[in-house]
């Protein structure tokens, strides 16, 4: 079994559900308390032992590439002012030089197509996918929990979570066969089913550990739900040849691609913030009283 070293972060989406906030900045750069949303996801990947991150970007997304780079002018000014703690915080938020790649998805053809755009850099290794719209609050992080399961089981593992039945049409949904602790054996999965057709109320949450063979299937994957090339459809095909597990992670997820989900993320990350948490709690209580 090859070790899991690489992760793909698809960041090409337009963020139309949170306009106008995302008109001139990428949705991944929206601040959640004191850092951009994408920083949480990169930290989750690094905590799980990921050594190389492939960002699949698009036009108007260069702010993400600039964010994950040194800022010499800013650093020089901070040095001059003796702001060592701020400089250290900036340095800690930055992955090592050479541990990030950026490829462009030239047309918005779907999540499956975005992942396929990373195929050359992924090569013949297993890889993780983290959808940066989805922030997951947990300790250890969701991907680290999945890596523990992966080191035992191998195969392909996708994070799943229960949702109200009325919401199944917004997500990929798995068809569970049997459950052993947090691991679920599956019969299949389907992207954005109708309530009647949904095989369960277990949604795919936006964290995946996949074998590289999925890239071959994505190369000829036909468009599916919403007229897009869907990762779920390629995974459903790969299931015929390889083991697949759902993993019911411990933690709470917030969809920052949605206005209310974003607000929930800001609220919960503020309440749980190491230094700002108590003040945020007092502030919310006062606002509600
Ligand atoms: C994508 C995936 C879907 C998954 C969801 C999680 O959908 O295609 O399977 O459940 O992310 O947020 P999207 O939100 O891009 O429509």
pTM (2 d.p.): 0.95
Residue 232 Cβ < 6 Å to ligand 1: yes
Strand partners of residue 31: 36
DSSP E strands, the chain: 6-10, 31-32, 35-36, 52-57, 100-104, 127-130, 134-137, 156-162, 172-180, 183-191, 202-210, 244-248, 252-255
Going from the Cα of 172 to the center of ligand 1, the distance in angstroms, rounded, reads 6
DSSP E strands, 2-45: 6-10, 31-32, 35-36
74: pLDDT confidence band, cut at 50, 70 and 90?
A: very high
27: pLDDT confidence band, cut at 50, 70 and 90?
A: very high
Domains and CATH numbers, the chain: 6-288 (3.90.550.10)
Q: What is the number of alpha carbons within 13 Å of residue 36 lying toward its C-beta?
A: 21
CA–CA separation, 218 vs 183, rounded Å? 25
Residue 10 Cβ < 6 Å to ligand 1: no
Residue 111 Cβ < 6 Å to ligand 1: yes
Q: Is the pLDDT of residue 15 over 90?
A: no
pLDDT tens figures, 236-281: 999 999 999 999 999 999 999 899 999 999 999 999 999 999 999 9
Going from the Cα of 210 to the center of ligand 1, the distance in angstroms, rounded, reads 16
Sign of CA dihedral 171, 37, 139, 271: negative
Mean pLDDT score, 173-188 = 95
């Amino acid at each position: 079994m090859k070790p899991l070293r690489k992760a793909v972060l698809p960041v090409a989406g337009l963020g139309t559900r949170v306009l106008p906030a995302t008109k001139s900045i990428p949705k991944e750069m929206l601040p959640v308390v004191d850092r951009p949303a994408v920083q949480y996801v990169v930290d989750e990947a690094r905590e799980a032992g990921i050594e190389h991150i492939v960002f699949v970007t698009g036009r108007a997304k260069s702010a993400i590439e600039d964010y994950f780079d040194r800022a010499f002018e800013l650093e020089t000014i901070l040095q001059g002012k003796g702001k060592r703690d701020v400089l250290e915080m900036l340095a800690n938020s930055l992955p090592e030089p050479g541990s990030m790649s950026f490829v462009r998805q030239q047309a918005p053809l779907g999540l499956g197509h975005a992942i396929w755009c990373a195929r050359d850099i992924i090569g013949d290794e297993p890889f993780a996918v983290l959808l940066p719209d989805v922030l997951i609050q947990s300790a250890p992080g969701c991907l680290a929990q999945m890596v523990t399961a992966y080191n035992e089981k191998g195969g392909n593992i996708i994070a799943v979570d229960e949702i109200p039945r009325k919401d199944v049409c917004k997500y990929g949904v798995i068809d569970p066969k049997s459950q052993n602790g947090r691991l679920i054996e599956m019969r299949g999965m389907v992207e954005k089913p109708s309530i009647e057709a949904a095989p369960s109320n277990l949604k795919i949450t936006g964290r995946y550990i996949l074998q590289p063979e999925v890239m071959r299937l994505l190369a000829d994957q036909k468009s599916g739900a919403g007229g897009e090339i869907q990762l779920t459809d390629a995974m459903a095909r790969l299931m015929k040849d390889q083991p697949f597990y759902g993993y019911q992670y411990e933690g709470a997820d917030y969809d920052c691609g949605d206005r209310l989900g974003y607000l929930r993320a800001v609220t919960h990350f503020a309440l749980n913030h190491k230094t700002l948490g108590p003040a945020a709690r007092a502030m919310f209580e006062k606002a509600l009283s």
